[in-house]
Amino acid sequence: MNPPSLLIHLRDIILLPFSVIVIIPYFILEAGSDFQAEITFRNILGLVLLGMGILLFFSTVYLFKTIGRGTLAPWQPTQKLVISGPYRYCRNPMISAVLMILLAETLLFASWNLLIWAIMFFFINSVYFRLIEEPALLRRFGNEYLNYKQNVPRWLARLKPFDPEQN
């Protein structure tokens, strides 16, 4: 099976993470928060988180395209289990990246409402991963995924990268 085209990747990015980090926050911010272009610790931290989140997000999308031969969307899943790059440290770095971006927006716009959205996003994904994604990955990839799951934490990165050859 051929990997998805660039247009399919862009479609899935716009439908999922773009909605989460741009469209929904836009409507949340309509309720009142405002960006202040000041040099403050909060804004510097927000910009650092934003940069880290964007870099991490695009690196995981690249790995899904090149190694996994799929997209980030559940309707176009990877054909191969991705356990390289940031996936050697935690099982869900793409979601961690989106969460970093949401927290960056929370800081940059000083918005409690965006913080609540970030918490809701994390909670929804925690439930989704436990009930739907992880069982589906176990069915698709069997023992390879089971070994990965037993050695790599879901959210908090391990200090030493996972090496499937040693575990």
Distance CA 90, CA 44 (A): 26
Q: Which domains does the chain possess?
A: 6-151 (1.20.120.1630)
User: Strand, coil or helix: what is 150?
Assistant: helix
Which residue type does 91 have?
A: R
For the entire predicted model, the pTM comes to 0.86
pLDDT at 153: 96
Chain-centroid distance of CA 37 in Å reads 27
pLDDT at 15: 75
pLDDT at 18: 83
pLDDT at 29: 80
pLDDT at 35: 59
Question: DSSP 3-state helix, strand, coil percentages of the chain (rounded to 5)?
Answer: 70, 0, 30
Per-residue pLDDT of the chain (167 residues; tens, 9 = 90+): 677 787 876 787 777 788 888 888 888 887 566 656 678 898 899 999 999 999 999 999 999 999 999 888 888 889 999 999 999 999 999 999 999 999 999 999 999 999 999 999 999 999 999 999 999 999 999 999 999 999 999 999 999 999 988 86
CA distances for 49 relative to 43, 107, 165, angstroms: 10, 9, 33
CA distances for 30 relative to 7, 103, 114, angstroms: 30, 18, 11
Distance CA 93, CA 8 (A): 21
